[in-house]
Amino acid sequence: MRMMHNYFRIGGVAADLPYGWIDKCLDFCDYFLTGIVEYQKLITRNPIFLERVEGIGVIGGEEAINWGLSGPMLRASGIKWDLRKVDHYECYDEFDWEIQWQKEGDSLARYLVRISEMTESIKIIQQALEGIPGGPYENLEIRCFDREKDPEWNDFEYRFISKKPFSHV
């Protein structure tokens, strides 16, 4: 989060996305999904892998809660709980996605939750990219404010206080 504070501005953001960035991001999503399919072929169905992780390190749901586990560790123990769904965190309610969980609680279940969460993450990213609005990245209405109300404060552009000054192109 320390790097994000310099990007957001009242009424917009510091700069627009570079030309072609959304298309490149969508291409990466497709590439990553094919990678997940390959991981599943190589790892998930591998009998040696399955022998080493299935039934190993079992953590039940009650234990997971008592130990304070969260995220994939908790969801692999049969607890279908995700802060993004339960607490309506940020804008996740606007996207179509499912909580990924397993009931077995073993190492295989934790692996399966993580693999399926990668697919769900790509779904969320693709939906977010589709929802990016067009138009200017800066709120141009901010320039319409009456600057004569307090001329002492109007001598400096407070919107652009940062480590690196931003220049309009």
Q: Is 90 left (phi over 0), alpha (psi -120 to 50) or beta?
A: left
Residue 159 within a domain: no
Residue 6 within a domain: no
Residue 135 within a domain: no
How many angstroms separate the Cα of 132 from the Cα of each of 21, 135, 163?
A: 12, 10, 27
Residue 139 within a domain: no
Q: Is 68 left (phi over 0), alpha (psi -120 to 50) or beta?
A: left
Residue 144 within a domain: no
pLDDT confidence bin for 112, thresholds 50/70/90: very high
pLDDT confidence bin for 157, thresholds 50/70/90: low
* Mean pLDDT, residues 128-133: 90
Per-residue pLDDT tens digits for 9-38:
776 777 788 888 999 999 999 999 999 999
Please choose, from the candidates 53, 33, 57, the residue with its C-alpha nearest in 3D space to the C-alpha of residue 45: 53
Structure tokens at 13: 């953001």
Q: Domain tally for the chain?
A: 1
Give this prediction's pTM. Answer: 0.73
Please choose, from the candidates 137, 93, 122, 90, the residue with its C-alpha nearest in 3D space to the C-alpha of residue 25: 122
* Mean pLDDT, residues 67-80: 96
**138: helix, coil or strand?**
strand
In this predicted structure, the answer to whether residue 137 has a pLDDT above a threshold of 90 is no
- Give CA angle at 120 (116, 126), nearest 5°: 145
Residue 169 within a domain: no
d(CA 36, CA 128): 20
Please choose, from the candidates 88, 84, 116, the residue with its C-alpha nearest in 3D space to the C-alpha of residue 101: 116
In this predicted structure, the answer to whether residue 79 has a pLDDT above a threshold of 60 is yes
Which of 16-30, 55-69, 137-151 has the highest average model confidence (pLDDT)?
A: 55-69
What is the model's pLDDT at position 88?
A: 86
Residue 70 within a domain: yes
- 127 or 151, greater pLDDT: 127
Residue recorded with tokens 């009424």? 11
Range of the domain at 32: 18-130
What is the model's pLDDT at position 138?
A: 64
Residue 100 within a domain: yes
